[in-house]
Amino acid sequence: MAKQLHEFSRMHSLTGDIAHARNLIEQGPSAGDYIIIASIEEGGDGVNRNYGRPGAPAWNWSVTEFVTFSFVTVELWDGWPTYVEQNPGSWIENTGRQIGFWGYTVIRELGTVPGVSLEVAKGGGMSLMVSNLRVGDLVRVYEATAVVDGDWREIGQFTATSPSTIWTVPEGNMDQRFYSVSIE
């Protein structure tokens, strides 16, 4: 059974591949050919991100081409996104630019990238506006006092009931803070 611990993405537009990906979302690996084979390169592209982490940070490698779905790959292509992240140049050199992670498959369709904005009200309170949501998305809000090596902690969560939602930042969190949002 394929599992997913970290997420990576790549947009592609081949109709048959999209239909199979949607079958994988509904049926899991029993839909067949669940392993994604793709070509990668060093450097982020703004699309390939770790959507499982707060703020969906970009990976330092990117998918350049979706090749196919498969039931099996050579062992050399098996790994995981954070392993590639540790040394993408070495991965690329050793695998000929290919990934085929055995423990990963399509689990959801990303669709439109959510938008996030923070507004300060006249009375001093703050509101977080999150747009381009799907009804039922779980939105988690995190805060920290520093972006790098910050102690990120969850300060709230809500389930989207419409494509756009406004969430009020709790009182007491008005000092200089950094905010991150994850959407599941």
Enumerate long-range contacts of 119-128, CB under 8 Å, 24 or more apart.
124/174, 125/168, 125/169, 125/171, 125/174, 126/168, 126/169, 126/173, 126/174, 127/166, 127/167, 127/168, 127/169, 128/166, 128/167, 128/168, 128/169, 128/179, 128/181
Name the pTM for this structure.
0.58
**DSSP class of 151:** -
Residue 108 included in any domain = no
Q: What b-and-e string marks burial along 74-85, b requiring 16 or more CB atoms within 10 Å of the CB? A: eeebbbbbeebb
Same domain, yes or no: 127 and 83? no
Between 28 and 167, name the one with better pLDDT.
28
Q: Do 95 and 19 have their domain in common?
A: yes
Say how many C-beta atoms besides its own lie within 10 A of residue 169's C-beta.
21
**94 and 22 part of one domain:** yes
122 and 56 co-located in one domain? no
Domain boundaries, position 41: 15-99
Instruction: Give yes or no for a contact between 182 and 56, defined as CB atoms under 8 angstroms apart.
Output: yes
Shared domain for 89 and 137, answered yes or no, is: no
Residues 125 and 89 in one domain: no
Provide the number of structural domains found in the chain.
2
Q: Are residues 124 and 90 in the same domain?
A: no
pLDDT in tens, 43-91: 887 678 787 777 678 889 988 888 999 999 999 999 999 999 999 999 9
pLDDT tier, 184 (very low <50, low <70, confident <90, very high otherwise): confident
Residue 81 and residue 151 in one domain: no
End-to-end CA distance of the chain: 21
